[in-house]
Amino acid sequence: MVTRVLQAPASDDGPRANGLSKHKLGSTEICTRIAKAKQAMKARDYAGAMATVKGILDENPTDRYAVSMMIKLCSLTGDLPQAERLFNRALEARKANSHVRFEMISAYSRANEVDKAKGIFDQAICDGCMDKFMVHSIMRACSQAGRLHDVQQAFEYAVQKGMADEFIYTTMLNAHGKFGSLADAQVLFAEVLRSFGPSKQLYNSMINAYGIGAHLERARHIFDRARREGHVDSYTYTTMASAYSTHGLHVEARSIYALAVREGFADKFVMDRLKRS
């Protein structure tokens, strides 16, 4: 589905190489207000955050960071039409940098408007205004929507452009696991291990892929390896336990939750599952 935003002018900001947190704001006052809005967002005081960001936009309507924050806030509060209006204004003013586009992609993803999110992503490629955060966001959105081909396309673009980090690789691995492409998941696992080294995220993803494919012995092998190497968190345990319980092995699942308690990785979710099992 093509939306009006695809007809708007491209951003003159170019690719953003330094990540979402490195934007230069116009003044110390704006920085102070942005920090205040972030604190309000962290506390889920969306009304307070919106009031602060609106104050910035009233004085500086084209401030990219404020625009992106307001798009996110509108999305979180269910006002997608207002987020679209802000985004379109930014495009028309040639102020839609990669941060603004990332937030609009995320907003559409939250609303399950994956075609519109993909449209912004594709236009960003044409405009030369792309970064790894947008790639990761669209890959996750397309994976959740069952669009493996689109996930693969975004992944291949990131690899070709040299922006594929461990998060992008493991997102692709997760997609292969989700859709039953276990051989492809295994290839990516070996590649990430070779290129980036072991990590919690990588091991958790491979445990999940094996669990989905009912390869529980292989999942347990990765789980035990992660524990030996110290690359575990509470999610490692819940992923292994979920693999067991999904395939009816509830005693084994309970033993994993109990193991998490003994080894100091029992968060609220683990304790709740342990009580229920």
* Nearest alpha-carbon partner for 207 in 239, 241, 166: 239
Least-confidence region, from 10-24, 115-129, 178-192, 196-210: 10-24
- How far apart are the C-alpha atoms of 136 and 96, rounded to whole Å? 19
Confidence of residue 5 (pLDDT cuts 50, 70, 90): very low
- pLDDT tier for residue 31 given thresholds of 50, 70 and 90: confident
Mean pLDDT of the 41-69 span: 92
Does position 130 have pLDDT exceeding 60, yes or no?
yes
pLDDT at 24 over 50: no
Residue 277, pLDDT score: 65
Q: Which two tokens stand for residue 161?
A: 């452009």
What pLDDT was estimated at residue 3? Answer: 40
- In this prediction, residues 166-189 reach a mean pLDDT of 95
* Ordered domains of the chain (ranges, CATH): 1-117 (1.25.40.10), 194-277 (1.25.40)
Predicted local distance difference test score (pLDDT) of residue 270 = 72
What are the tokens at 21?
């947190």
C-alpha span between 85 and 87 (Å, rounded)? 5
Instruction: Give the largest CA-CA distance in the chain.
Output: 61
> Is 125's pLDDT higher than 60?
yes
Query: Mean of the per-residue pLDDT values for the chain?
Result: 88
Q: Is the pLDDT confidence value at 54 over 90?
A: yes
Residue 18, pLDDT score? 34
Question: Which whole number is the average pLDDT over 196-210?
Answer: 96
pLDDT at 230 (0 to 100): 96
Q: What is the mean pLDDT of residues 168-191?
A: 95
194: region left, alpha or beta (phi > 0 left; psi from -120 to 50 alpha): alpha
pTM recorded for the entire structure: 0.81
pLDDT at 7: 34
- Would you list the DSSP string of the chain? ---GGGGSPPPSS----S-GGGPPPS-HHHHHHHHHHHHHHHTT-HHHHHHHHHHHHHH-TT-HHHHHHHHHHHHHTT-HHHHHHHHHHHHHTT---HHHHHHHHHHHHHTT-HHHHHHHHHHHHHHT---HHHHHHHHHHHHHTT-HHHHHHHHHHHHHTT---HHHHHHHHHHHHHTT-HHHHHHHHHHHHHHH---HHHHHHHHHHHHHTT-HHHHHHHHHHHHHHT---HHHHHHHHHHHHHTT-HHHHHHHHHHHHHTT---HHHHHHHHH-
Phi and psi at 255, nearest 5°, equal: -65, -35
Look-up: residue for tokens 């947190």?
21
Q: What percent of the chain has pLDDT over 90?
A: 78
Hunting for tokens 């009304």 — which residue is that? 47
Confidence check: pLDDT of 265 > 90 = no
Distance CA 67, CA 57 (A): 7
